[in-house]
Structure 1
Amino acid sequence: MKRLLLLLLPLLLEAAPAARAQTAPAPTAAADPSRITLVIHGGAGTITRQNMTPEKERAYTEALNQALQAGYTVLQRGGTALDAVEATVRVMEDSPLFNAGKGAVFTHDGRNELDAAVMDGQTLKAGAVAGVTVVRNPISAARAVMEKSEHVLLTGTGAEQFAREKGLTIVEPGYFYTEARYQQLQKALASEKGAVPDQLNTPTKTTPAAPVPTKTKTKTKAGKPQGYAEPPIFTEGRKYGTVGAVALDQYGNLAAATSTGGMTNKRYGRVGDAPIIGAGTYADNQTCAVSCTGWGEYFIRVGVARDVAARMEYGRQPLAAAAQATLDKVAQLGGDGGLIGLDRQGNITMPFNSEGMYRGYIKANGQTEVLIYK
C-alpha cells in the first residue's frame, strides 16, 4: 500500500496546480481606455417642448453635461466604473434641478426623504439607503453600506447613524429645502383637498394639515436658510426626477447607481424602486448595468433592472431588445418611466414610455450627447 502511494504521489502533486487553476478567480481584464462609456438619466415624465423655455432647457443641458464630465474624468484617469457612477450621481444630487439630494421633493408631512443604491458588476456587491433626511449625498451612503457593512439596505435613522459613523457629510434637513419643490407639494395638497384624482397618490377624504418646511436654524431676514439660493421654478409637468448613472471602465467592469427623493406628497415612509436592487438598480459584468426612473411601484413589481439582465443572460437577447421588452411589461400594467442600460461591449440603450426623459452619454473619445424629448 505504501509503495502504491509513493508511486501515485508525483501524479497527484502534478495534478494539483491544474485543479487550483480551475477554481481560481478570473484575472482582471487588461486595461483598454477605448471602451470607457458613461450613461446618465435625470428623470422621466411629461417633459415636452411646449412646457420648456430656452432657459430651462439650457439649465438642464448644462447640469447633465456637468454630471457626464465628472464621471468621464474619473474613467479617463483610470478610475473604476464604481467611482465614476458615484461621482456622476453626486453632481446631480447637489443640483436643485433634479429630484435627488438638494432638489428632492417633499413628503406629505413636509419632509425630504431620500433613497439611493449602487451596485458593482464585477462582484455583484450592492448597497442602498432609504428614507434618509440628513445625508447630503445618499449615493455615497449607499456605497458605504456596500463596502463597510455586511448589509445591502439600511433605512431611516439607522442609515443616518451609520452614515455619521462612517464620516459622511451630514446636513440640517433645511439644506434640502427649495421653494419650487415646496410649491409642488402645496399644489398636491390643494388637489387632494379638492378631491381631485392624482395619478401619483390616492386622495384621502380628510383635509391634511399644511406641512411646515424643515429649514436650518440659522436664517436670513427673509426666513430662508443661510446661504439659500432660489432655483428657477420648473413646472414641466408630472415628472419622476430620479437620477442615475451606469458606466463601463477600461478594465471591463460595469456599475450602476440611482438616487431619488421619491414622489411628491408620498406618505407612510413610502420607498420606491431606486434603492431596491433588481428593481431600479442592477449591474452584472456578464450582462449589463441598469438604472431606472419611473413609477416605482410598477418597476418593483416587474423587477425591471434585473429582468433586463435576465433576458440577456437566459434568453440571449441583446441589450436594447431586453430593455424594451421589460419596459413594455411596465406599460402593460399601467406604469410609465424609462431606464438607461449599458452592456460590457459598450452598447447603450435609453428607452422610455413617457413624454420625455433627461438623458445623455459620453464615449471614450469624448463624444457626448444630451437628450430631453422623444
Structure 2
Amino acid sequence: MGLHRSDLPPEVTGLLRKGVAIPAHPLALNAERRFDRRHQRALTRYYVDAGSGGLAVGVHTTQFEIRDVGLYRPVLEAAMEDSRAWTSRPLVMVAGLAGRTEQAVEEARTAVGLGYHAGLLSLAAMKGASPDELLAHCRRVAEEIPLVGFYLQPAVGGISLDAGFWRDFCAIDNVVAVKVAPFNRYRTLDVVRGLIEARAEDRITLYTGNDDHIVLDLITPFTLPRDGVPVTVRFRGGLLGHWSVWTRGAVQLLERLQAAVAAGPVPPDILALDATVTDCNAAFFDVANSFHGCIAGCHEVLRRQGLLEGTWCLNPKEGLSPGQSEAIDRVLRLYPQFSDDAFVAENRERWLS
C-alpha cells in the first residue's frame, strides 16, 4: 500500500475538508516552448501569497502534454520545491494523474515520492472502457495515493459517468474528494447522488470545477433523499483552472461565499455574482470557440500581468482564438472588482527574483 488518507498531516486533511481555493497550476514556457523555470517559480509564489489553500499540478491547465516531453516530474518537483521554500504554512498539494493504469500508477508513485497529498485522476485515456474496468483502474491507483475524483467535461476529453459509477467510486476507501467539472447540472447531480448513495459524505469533500457555475456550486445546498431521509451535501472549495488567474480575488470570493452560507440566507447580491464570474470565465475559457483557447486564455491574463512572457502552449496548435483577446479586454473593463492587477504589480518583481 502506498499513501493512505490516514497518513496525511491532520492540518492538510482539515484544509481539504474545510474547503479551500486550489488553482490549477499553468505551465510557464519561453518562446521556444521550453520550460521557463523562473516564471514557473513566480507563479507558485503568486498563488501562495494570494492565499491559495493548495496547488494542483500536472492537471489539464498544466497541459497533459507535459508527459510527452519529459516534464511531468520536473514540473511537479518545481511546485513542491518552490512552495516549500516560500511558505511554512500547510498547503493541499494535488498531483494530476493520467493515462492508463500502468502510467497512472507510476505517476502516483512519483507524486507520493515528491510529497504530494492526493492525486486528481483523469479518466480521459480510458475511453471505451467498461464501468467495471474504470473502477478497477481507480481502485488500483487508489492503492498508491489518496484520490480526488475528476469529472472532466466531455468537450475537452472527458467521458460521461453516471450516478452508479460515482456511487461505486465514492465507496473506494482512499478517495478524499471529487472535483466536479462536467459543466452540466444533470451530471453534477449524478456525482452528488452517487456520493450520497455511497454514504461517503463524511469522508469525501466536493470541489467545484464547474467554471460555468462556480458561485452557485459553492452556495447551493444539494439535498437528496436517502432511505426516506433528506441528506444535504455542499461544495466546500474549488479546484479550478479559472482560479489560476485573478487568484487573490478568487480566494477572497471563496471566503465571502463561505461566510454568506454560514450566515444564511444567501442575499441576492451574492447570487448575482454567479453571472458575472461566469461571464469572465467565458472570455478566459474561450467558450465562443468550444474551449479551444481555454489554456491560452488563462496564459493571456497572466501575460498581461507580467507573470508569463507569452501564451505559448506545448501544442503549437493551441493558442488564443480570433476575438478572444477582445473578449478578455471586455471583462477586464466590466469587472475590475475581480482583478488582482494591483496586488500582482506590487509583488511581481519579488516573485520573479
Structure possessing the higher relative contact order (Cα contacts under 8 Å, 6 or more residues apart): 1
Scaled by the length of structure 2, the TM-score of the pair is: 0.27
Higher Cα radius of gyration: 1
Provide the TM-score with structure 1 as the length reference.
Answer: 0.26
